[in-house]
Amino acid sequence: MSKLEKNNLNITGFQDKEKIMSFVNLNLLSPLLKALEQEGYSEPTPIQAKAIPVILDGKDILATAQTGTGKTAAFALPILQLLLQDEKSFQEKRIIKYLILTPTRELAAQISESFRTYGRLTPINNITIFGGVSQKPQEQALRNGAQILIATPGRLLDLMGQKLVNLSRVKTFVLDEADRMLDMGFINDVKKIINHLPVNKQTLFFSATMPNEIVKLAKNILINPVPVSAPVVASTAEQISQAIYFVERNNKKHLLLHLLKTDNISNALIFTRTKHGADRVVKDMSEAGIQAEGIHGNKSQQARLRALRNFKSGKTKILVATDIASRGIDVEELSHVINYELPNIPETYVHRIGRTGRAGKTGIALSFCDLEERKYLKDIHQLIAKNIPVIENHPFLSVSKQNRKRKEQTNDCKNPYKKKTQLF
C-alpha cells in the first residue's frame, strides 16, 4: 500500500472495525509481512482482503476498484508471493512471468515503487517501461531481464514490434484502470497486446467503472472470474474544509488570482478537466507574475517529473494538473486543492480533494462552479450526501447568484421576521 493508498483510508471509510483483519490472516510469507511491518501496515483494506486469497488460488478476478482503495497492493503482494513460491523462478530470473498494464507513466512508476517496497526483502525486481523518455535504458533493462514487467500500452507495443519483449511465458496478466485505458484511447492497443499473451494464464481485471466496452472486453479475456469490489469513494475527510465559489467561466482566472493574492495559500494543486485548460491556467498565472507549472498527458516525462519535483520541494508553489496526469502526485503537506473546473465524475471530486488534509493534518478544498457545471455540483452533493458551503462574499460572484442575493435581501426587508439562512 503506497502513501497515497494509506492516506486515502481516511477518505474511503475503510476503518469499519467489523471488516478489519490482519495481513497475517492472509497467509503471506515472512519477507512480505516484514516489509509491510516496516512500512507500518498491519491491516489490509477490503479490496486487499478479498482479492489476495483469490489471486493466490490462481483464479481470475473482475475487480471494481478506484485509485486509493489499496488495489496496487491487492495484486502486488500475491504476485510477489507466487514468485517466491515458484521453485523455477530463481532459475528463470530473466523471463517475464507477470505483466501489469497501466494507462499512465505516473501510475507505472508508482506501481513499480510499490513492488520494490513490498519486495525489498526478496531478490525479486521489476522492469518499468513507458513512453516520453529514451527507450535505451529500458532496452538494457529488458536485456538484463526480470520476471515482472510494468508497462504502458504504447511503449510496450513499440518494443514488441522491435522484438525486444517476449510475452509468451506470462503466467499472470494485470489490466489496471481499464476504464482509463478506454478514456485515453488505448483500448485497441490493449487488445493487440492481449493477442500476444498465452491462452492459459491468470487475468486480474481492475476498473473503477464498467462502461459497455469494458464489460465486453472483460467477458472476452476472463475465465470464470471472481467478482471483487471495494467500497465506493463517497465521503470526504472531516479535516478538509470545503467551499464553492459560483463564478462566470470568463471570471475564473480573475477569481483565482484574487485568492492567490489575498488568501493564505502556501501551496496549491489546481485541477482542470482538460490539457488545454491546464496550459491556459499556467499561462494566466505567468502573465500575472505567479510562478506555476503544469502536468498533463502532452508533457514529456522529463517535464512532468521536473514539475512534480519542484512542487514537492517547494520551489514551485502552484501546480496545475489534469486528473489523468495527477495520478502519481502525493504531497504530504498540501494546504489547498482548487478545482478550477469541477470534474464531470463525482467520485473524482473526492479523489482530488483527498490530496490535501493528509496524515491528520487540515486542508482546504476550494471549487469554482460556472453555470454549465451546476449539474456536476449536484452529482457531487448527492455522492457525498451533503451540500458544500457557498462563499458569496467575493468580487466575482456570478450574475445569477447576485440577482438571487438581491432578491433575498429585498424579501428580508419586506419581511423583517423572516429567518435568515446561514451559508455555513
Domain map (residue ranges) of the chain: 3-229, 240-410
Confidence of residue 348 (pLDDT cuts 50, 70, 90): confident
Cell triple for 75 = 495484486
Assigned architecture for domain 240-410: 3-Layer(aba) Sandwich (3.40)
118-121: list long-range contacts, CB under 8 Å, 24+ apart: 118/32, 118/35, 118/36, 118/73, 118/76, 118/77, 118/80, 119/31, 119/32, 119/35, 119/80, 120/35, 120/38, 121/31, 121/32, 121/34, 121/35
> Which tens digit of pLDDT belongs to each residue from 267-279?
999 999 888 999 9
> Which tens digit of pLDDT belongs to each residue from 144-161?
999 999 999 999 999 999
Q: Report whether pLDDT(251) > 50.
A: yes
Cell triple for 203 = 487475468
**Helix, strand, or coil (residue 295):** strand
Within 222-316, residue ranges assigned H as helices are 252-262, 275-287, 301-313
Q: Report whether pLDDT(124) > 50.
A: yes
What pLDDT is attached to residue 12? 35
> Which tens digit of pLDDT belongs to each residue from 78-118?
999 999 998 777 778 889 999 999 998 878 988 998 999 99
Q: Report whether pLDDT(410) > 60.
A: no
The contacts of residue 238 (CB under 8 Å, 6+ apart) are none
CA-CA-CA-CA torsion sign (19, 20, 24, 28):
positive
Cell triple for 254 = 480573475
**Overall average pLDDT of the 131-145 stretch:** 92
What pLDDT is attached to residue 417? 41
The contacts of residue 267 (CB under 8 Å, 6+ apart) are 311, 314, 317, 318, 319, 331, 333, 334, 335, 336
Of 77-91, 149-163, 193-207, 326-340, the least confident: 326-340
> Which tens digit of pLDDT belongs to each residue from 33-52?
999 988 878 789 889 999 99
**Overall average pLDDT of the 294-312 stretch:** 83
Q: Report whether pLDDT(9) > 50.
A: no
Which residue would you say has higher pLDDT here, 359 or 287?
Answer: 287
Confidence of residue 8 (pLDDT cuts 50, 70, 90): very low
Please give the mean pLDDT across all residues of the chain: 85
Highest mean pLDDT among 123-132, 306-315, 318-327, 396-405: 123-132
**Overall average pLDDT of the 350-373 stretch:** 85
pTM for the model stands at 0.65
Q: Report whether pLDDT(264) > 80.
A: yes
Residues comprising the chain, all counted: 424
What pLDDT is attached to residue 326? 60
CB 252 within 8 A of CB 368: yes
What pLDDT is attached to residue 404? 62
Q: Which CATH superfamily is domain 3-229 in?
A: P-loop containing nucleotide triphosphate hydrolases (3.40.50.300)
Same fold: 3-229 with 240-410: yes
